[in-house]
Structure 1
């Protein structure tokens, strides 16, 4: 069985041929402005615009924990906005990451990626500002994507940030 590939680099610049999806985790309150989303916004305005519109019109769509929005940013390139964290602050209810929501989002993403014949590229989703543990998220990525034959590359920044 194949496994997750780990490399040092920038997840916004996947260096493989063919269709690609850059997956990342968003919060459920419409906030976009810290962490990996800044790297996305520096490269393309569309994912942020689409996320904000999706949140604004949430009474009429599927915006919420576990939902996925694919935004095309290039000929064979999409960004997957996955709602996998509740709010943005660590508080009495713990860290913002919601493992069940990430699991649901990854399962939904698998179908979209398979349809496009794409590979998936991501930072260690849910582990930055969301406060999650990669030891809990990596098995979800493996189960939902890798076991379905989807190539997954996880990017670690050389500076340890991101």
Structure 2
């Protein structure tokens, strides 16, 4: 896993990545964290989410949106890595994270893939465990963790 500091959305818009992945819940709510930022910057990703059924049955799957801005093209992958966003305890589903990243590897083996710390923020998952899953599933792929740092920092 490559790791850089920056703004995933700005880097995607600058043409740095072919695919950006973010974790989603299965309830069509993109109202917090990076999902909220993705929804605002790329409403096509939210439209792709709304085209999927609501509910835990989609855990471990992905929906995608093709984005074009200013001649730059990339894909946003909504990875369904948690059922919902409510309650105490860990909301990240490790098996779903594994399945979603296995699908990313299957669909995009030759693309530049980037993601934030999926499942480790609001979903309260263990980043070390999640990072190991992502590394296993994306073995052989060009993939980068983007640790958020606002521009100018």
| 1:40-60, Cα deviation, whole Å (9 max, x unpaired) | 12321100111022135x7xx
> What SS class does the counterpart of residue 55 from structure 1 fall into?
coil
* TM-score for both structures, normalised by structure 2: 0.85
In structure 1, runs of 5+ residues without a counterpart are none
Match of 1:64 among 42, 45, 58: 58
Count of residue pairs the alignment pairs up: 146
| 1:49-86, Cα deviation, whole Å (9 max, x unpaired) | 11022135x7xxx9611011121112530001111112
Q: CA deviation at 1:158?
A: 2.3
Name the CA shift for 1:17/1:38 in 2 (closer, same or farther; >3 Å).
closer
Match of 1:36 among 14, 34, 37: 34
Name the CA shift for 1:17/1:87 in 2 (closer, same or farther; >3 Å).
closer
Determine if the alignment matches structure 1 residue 102 to structure 2 residue 93: no
Please provide the CA RMSD for this pair: 2.2
Q: Distance in 2 between matches of 1:37 and 1:123?
A: 10
* TM-score for both structures, normalised by structure 1: 0.81
Q: Distance in 1 between matches of 2:39 and 2:27?
A: 18
> What SS class does the counterpart of residue 13 from structure 1 fall into?
helix
Q: CA deviation at 1:28?
A: 1.5
> What SS class does the counterpart of residue 88 from structure 1 fall into?
coil
Q: Distance in 2 between matches of 1:40 and 1:150?
A: 23
Runs of 4+ in 1 over 2 A off after TM superposition: 13-19
Determine if the alignment matches structure 1 residue 123 to structure 2 residue 116: yes
